[in-house]
Structure 1
Amino acid sequence: MDRVQEEKVQRFEEFVDCRLKPDLVRAIAERDKVFEQQKTFSDLKRNVENLQKNSVTSLRTLVNLGSEVYMQADVPDTRHIFVDIGLGFHVELTWSEALNYITAREEKLVRQIEDYTRLIASIKAQIKIVCEGIREILQLPVEGSY
């Protein structure tokens, strides 16, 4: 293999290692965050539906204060709940308003997951194409062709 080919292979490998693989890791991590948000909203929806179904208008619960420290809390009126809408803002909503908001957010999260899944597939395809280019430069046989 001559020097030009070695340089090409090295540039391709650097591109995969320094650009594509970190992009892939980042996209997977972002999609995982969206999955966590989706689970949080799913849990909230289930809780609101249970409150509504059982006509629970007051309750006693434990509230996590942080660092797994809990405190007992009395909720005198559960018909209005505060929902985190992002950036540290919370909005007081009725059960039906909360369920409508949660449904809309879940739809948005599904679209985000689909977008990240497509991005991940695209990055994996790019990695495969670059690896194929390296294989051709090195004149290695195609896997399974021997």
Structure 2
Amino acid sequence: MEITVNVTGLDNLANAIFALAKTAGNCKEETQVDATKVTPVVQQTVAPAETAAQTTTTVPSTPPVQNVQPVPTTQTAQTAPVAPTVSPVPTATAAPTYSMEQLAVAATGLIDAGKMQDVQNTLASLGAQTLMDLPQEKYGEFASAIKAIGAVI
């Protein structure tokens, strides 16, 4: 039995790496990879079951790769002193905002649980008779108060 595996598509990756190296000035033009010349092949041969199993793996040699030595650079300009880092000042996170619909659903859950009087008392403490009367700037306070009663928002 013979199994052949061909890996394709690596030529584009190799050419991209060489192009990047060339752009950096560390690579010569002749190091480009030609996909038609390099095709890795792996073959495996297995003898029939009645004889001892023998496995042979053949991997073709790859063309030599030119070693590229980086060009040492010297720094002639004097560097500016580095300023000490300043850690940012922590800021208070904004309170979550709630919509009328979210508050209505949460309040309805409390009313269904038999806590209608608690919801009415909370609204009255914020100066409203109904949820529709509650000013939008007090939605956060109302949400916190009904969460304390057991609402899920």
Same fold (TM over 0.5): no
TM-score category of the 2 structures, normalised to the smaller one: under 0.3
Q: Comparing both structures, which one devotes a greater share of its residues to strand? A: 1
Query: How high is the TM-score relative to the length of structure 1?
Result: 0.27
Q: Comparing both structures, which one devotes a greater share of its residues to helix? A: 1
Q: Which has the higher contact order (CA 8 A, sep 6+)?
A: 1
